[in-house]
Amino acid sequence: MGDQSDLKEREDKLQGMGTSLLRKEDAKFIRGQGTYIDDIKLPGMLFGAIVRSPYAHARIKGIDKSKALACPGVVAVLTADDLKPVNLHWMPTLGGDVQAVLADKKVCFQLQEVAMVLAAVSLLAENPDPSEDEIRHGLEGNLCRCTGYQNIVAAALDAAKRLQAAR
């Protein structure tokens, strides 16, 4: 009989699958004090938006970036062609194979990622007329490490000019 109580006691201490766990983070979220990823604001941070295909199967004949680049604050529009020169157009998966980061030549499923639009809204809001050095300094701590992208500084300068022209 003592063996059964010892077994029950050991099972209670393990608290494995099927056991309720005390969640420590809930209280701050219930009170509205939690920090979500969208709440994080860093100096010079770029904001990204993924453009997805509305089609389940389609051939990509070309991507016209001009309208997106003409929007105030837009720094860059990345497609598979932009990722190829830096060998970032394919990424490894957990299954041990590789997968396209952005669709190239053909869309294989609906909502597949086709492009990424990057905007420096907060950087340009802080300083609407930045110098090249100020842009480089502002992008130093960027989460996505976009500072290695060749045209990012020129694009930010161009976005600043377009913002000034729009005012």
The pLDDT, as a whole number, for residue 58 is 94
The pLDDT, as a whole number, for residue 55 is 92
Q: pLDDT tens digits for 17-73?
A: 666 777 777 788 788 887 777 677 766 677 888 889 999 999 999 999 888 888 777
**Separation between Cα atoms, residue 102 and residue 111, nearest integer Å:** 11
Pick from 128, 126, 116: which is nearest to 65 by CA?
A: 116
Let me know if 162 is exposed, middle or buried by CB neighbors in 10 A (0-12, 13-18, 19+): middle
What are the structural domains of the chain? Answer: 42-166 (3.90.1170.50)
Q: pLDDT tens digits for 115-167?
A: 998 887 766 777 778 888 877 776 665 444 444 444 567 777 777 777 777 76
Helix (H), strand (E) at residue 30: helix 26-30
What is the DSSP annotation of 103-116?
-BSEE-STT-EEEE
User: 111 versus 135: which is more confidently predicted?
Assistant: 111
The pLDDT, as a whole number, for residue 124 is 73
* Averaged pLDDT, 110-117: 91
User: 104 versus 162: which is more confidently predicted?
Assistant: 104
The pLDDT, as a whole number, for residue 152 is 67
**pLDDT of 78 higher than 80:** yes
Pick from 160, 63, 88: which is nearest to 121 by CA?
A: 160
**Separation between Cα atoms, residue 163 and residue 167, nearest integer Å:** 7
The pLDDT, as a whole number, for residue 147 is 41
pTM above 0.75, yes or no: no
